[in-house]
Amino acid sequence: MPVNSMSGFARVEGTTRGADFVWEIRSVNGKTLEVRLRLPPGYEGIETDVRRIVASRFGRGNLQVSLSVRRAEDEALPFVIHREMLDAVLRLSGELVRDGYATLPSADGLLALRGVIDVAERVPSPEDDALRQRDVLAGLEDAVEHLVASRAAEGRQLQSVLEDRLGEIERLVEDAERDPSRRMDVIRDRLARQVAELTHASASLDPARLHAEAALIATRADIREELDRLRAHLHAARELLAQDAPIGRRFDFLAQEFNRESNTVCSKSNAASLTAIGLQLKVVVDQLREQVQNIE
C-alpha neighbours within 13 Å on the C-beta side of residue 4: 23
| Residue 43, pLDDT score | 92
What's domain 154-292's architecture?
A: Up-down Bundle (1.20)
Contacts of 141 (CB under 8 A, 6+ apart): 53
* Contact partners, residue 11, CB within 8 Å, separation at least 6: 22, 23, 24, 25, 143, 146
pLDDT score for 137: 97
Q: What class does CATH assign to 8-72+130-151?
A: alpha beta
pLDDT the model gives residue 252? 93
**DSSP class of residue 59?**
S
pTM score = 0.69
CB half-sphere exposure, 70, CA atoms < 13 A: 5
CA distances 203 to 188, 200, 210, Å, are: 21, 6, 11
Q: Classify residue 51 as exposed, middle or buried by CB count within 10 Å of its CB (0-12, 13-18, 19+).
A: middle
Show me where the domains of the chain are located: 8-72+130-151, 79-119, 154-292
CA pair distance 18, 224, nearest whole angstrom: 72
CB atoms within 10 A of CB 123: 6
For residue 18, what pLDDT is reported? 76
What pLDDT is attached to residue 256? 95
* Per-residue pLDDT of the chain in tens (296 residues, 90 and over written 9): 578 999 999 999 999 877 899 999 999 999 999 999 999 998 999 999 999 999 999 999 999 999 999 876 655 556 667 777 777 777 777 777 776 666 767 777 766 667 767 655 666 677 777 888 999 999 999 999 999 999 999 999 999 999 999 999 999 999 998 887 766 666 667 666 766 776 666 555 566 665 666 566 666 667 889 999 999 999 999 999 988 788 999 999 999 999 999 999 888 887 788 889 999 999 999 999 999 999 98
| pLDDT the model gives residue 153 | 93
pLDDT of residue 279: 94
Q: Are 111 and 89 in contact (CB under 8 A)?
A: no
Rounded CA gap, 288 and 233, in Å? Answer: 13
Distance CA 49, CA 23 (A): 14
